[in-house]
């Protein structure tokens, strides 16, 4: 049991140190800072941070692909809506 816990803990630490890369593809991306719309964007995310946005389709081998074809993405938008009295 002790070896099993050590292995699980090692895997969790390894994953958090190395982080996972994600590639998100969509139909459109709304860039509020640049005040423009990017058609057919590819968004690379690593360690919960957007590291690159491109208008060229690509998928690095080491990343997990998230296909949002047919959708528009707006990075940074969070739903902070709540009903306290409901």
CATH code of 28's domain: 2.30.40.10
- Segments of the chain with pLDDT less than 50: none
Structural domain harbouring 61: 19-73
11 inside domain:
no
Residue 84 covered by a domain? no
Residue 46, pLDDT score: 85
What does the pLDDT look like over 39-54, one tens digit per residue?
999 988 888 788 888 8
Residues 6+ apart with CB under 8 A from 26: 40, 41, 43, 68, 69, 71, 72, 73
Does the residue 86 lie in any domain? no
Name the token pair of 55: 């208008």
Q: What is the pTM of this model?
A: 0.66
The reply to whether 6 falls in a domain is no
Considering its fold, how many domains does the chain have in total?
A: 1
């Amino acid at each position: 049991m002790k070896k099993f816990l050590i292995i699980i803990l090692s895997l969790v630490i390894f994953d958090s140190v190395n982080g996972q890369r994600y590639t998100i593809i969509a139909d459109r991306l709304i860039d509020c800072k640049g005040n423009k719309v990017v058609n057919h964007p590819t968004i690379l995310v690593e360690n919960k941070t957007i590291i690159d946005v491109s208008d060229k389709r690509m998928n690095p081998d080491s990343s997990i692909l998230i296909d949002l074809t047919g959708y528009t993405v707006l990075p940074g938008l969070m739903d902070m809506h709540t009903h306290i009295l409901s």
